[in-house]
Amino acid sequence: MIITKAFPYSAIKKQLKKSDEIGIISCNACARLCGTGGEKAMAQLAKRLKKDGFNVVDMDLIGNPCNYDLLNKSQLHGNVQILLACDAGLYNLKKLFPKHKIISANRTIGLGAHDKGRNIVLIKKIK
């Protein structure tokens, strides 16, 4: 699995305008297990953005955005996309939609695994 850490909300918010129509796309695999993605993290981000006066128009939960075929969508709703996934998901989203503004909400830390207690253990850090 890929380990990610969420960027501070303030860093994401700085990249947005109140006039933006925002779509949120989230990984439902590794990022969900790290707490930086999945339905819960996506809903929390949308709630914060709406509370701060931003217009969230769409939310998509994708099994594995690092899998091009799963991420492949015919269209994105909104003029700005916030991605809750690792760098591989970001790469695929930018490849599919090169003209869209895409904001990464997560920093990729490295490769990880679950130990016997189901804790996530960093195996190899990305430099």
Task: Summarize pLDDT for 30-74 with one digit per residue, the tens.
Answer: 999 999 999 999 999 999 999 999 999 999 999 999 998 887 766
2-125: in CATH 3.40.50: yes
Q: How far apart are CA 108 and CA 2, in angstroms?
A: 7
Q: How far apart are CA 28 and CA 60, in angstroms?
A: 10
Task: Summarize pLDDT for 63-73 with one digit per residue, the tens.
Answer: 999 998 887 76
Query: So what's the pLDDT on residue 74?
Result: 63
Assessment of whether the complete model's pTM goes beyond 0.75: yes
